[in-house]
Each structure stands twice: as C-alpha cells, then as structure tokens.
Structure 1
C-alpha cells in the first residue's frame, strides 16, 4: 500500500464500520472473507479530516479505474450499499471489489476473486466525484443513505 495502511476520512470510517455491522447479506465465502479483511485493515487505518485526506485515496463516491496484466480493465464508482446500480457501474463499498479498494491509493495493487481464481489488479486512476461535497458523510446524510430494510439470504 502506498501509504502503508488504509487511509480513510473519519466520517467515512464510521459509515463503513456501520455498514459492516449491519451487513447481513453474505454473498459467498469470498465476500465474507473480504469483509473480514476490511474490518481487520480498518483497525490500523490512518484517519484524516476531510480537508486533509490525500487526493488519490479511494473514498465513497470516488471513480476508480482498475487494470490487470491479463488485459482486464474496469471502471466504476464506489457507492453506499443502497445506491448500487450495476448498469451505471456503481459498486457497493461492502461488495468484494468495493471492500478491496476502499482506503487504497492510485498505484496500489489488490487481489480480487474467488479462492483458486484470484487475479491481481492495479489501481490505475482515482477521480473524486464533483457532485458529492463534504456533507456526504455527515451523520444525517449517513442515516438517510442507510437501507431501510436489509436483505437476508
């Protein structure tokens, strides 16, 4: 990792922690494992105020461009769990891919996939959303963006 550990904005840290605690949708073993790793990484994360966070850190609502050695390319926006829209390339922060990139920086490498079929990806580009301001991670906004009813499988 470019900065040695995850780098998170303080309010986003609390929001992610809340999402992890209320996430009852375990898609599969790999997803559960990814969320456990995210939880563990968060215990050593560096926390910053919004105005002090480095520009190349992946935050909620960032646009991310990934590339792999096998020619894989993927661009998406990281969003809150209830704002997922696959057709618009909006990926949840508590998905396997979202949990793998949150708090990482441009140039960082991640591994992604199911056991036995893991690929290595590099974060090529991070672009911050212009439409989301600092109010996006305030407590009232976080509460508003929480899903009203969680799915269970």
Structure 2
C-alpha cells in the first residue's frame, strides 16, 4: 500500500477510540518523546488547547498535543516556559507513526498549530533530525534544561 501525501490526509480532534493507537505510536517513538499511558494521555487531552490526529484512510498517521498557558501539567519543561513566557502555546508532543515518517505528516500537523502565538517546545540534544527539522521551521533555541540526565534544547517559534 502506498501512503497518501499529507495534504490529502484528514486532520481531526483526538477521540476516545484513538487512545490505544496513540499510545502505541508514542511508545514506538521514545527516542524523541516521553512515554504515555492511558492516564497521562487522558490528562493531556483534557488540558490541551489542541489535541489532533492526522488520519490516512482510517489509519492514524500522527498526532499533536499542545497546551495553553496555565495548564495543570506537572512537567519541568513546561514549567521552564511558564516562568519565561506570557502568552504562548506549548507543544507537548508531535508523533508520527513509523509507517508514515518522511511523508510530510509532521509538517502538516505543525501547520495546524502555528498561528498568532509563539510555539514553545523542547528537543533532546541528541535528536539531530528533530533539531534540524525545528530550526528549518523557524524555531529558535532560547535555552537549555537538564532533565533526567538529558539536555533539552528549548525552542520558540515566533507567531505567524
């Protein structure tokens, strides 16, 4: 089966029936994101200002979750931005299914969340592909944070 170009895929809100698939996709991408279980994913979706999937012919190609300022979220990375920025969107995670990587899925999901507020996120310092991707999208490094023995590069992308 040939995958569809990302511009022909459908973006929609995360639904309860998606949760098992999202956890599986997330756990296959732990080199770039933290782990998720049902409780943590439910909490993220409840707190989110954007919780979206990109669907390709019934399959989930990827998903994105962003949080607003003032969210109830226990994360040192989120707290780092909360103490430095006033009005922004925190990109908690964007994850692409292994079967859909290098097909424009991440770019399409970013288009959905980039708008009139700065977007803040962190990237593990050893994730060269993600570092290059974000710099190419106009994200600028604004600091570093040590977390669980890993250095996180903190990025902000100015609003459109």
Q: TM-score, normalised by structure 2?
A: 0.32
More strand by share: 2
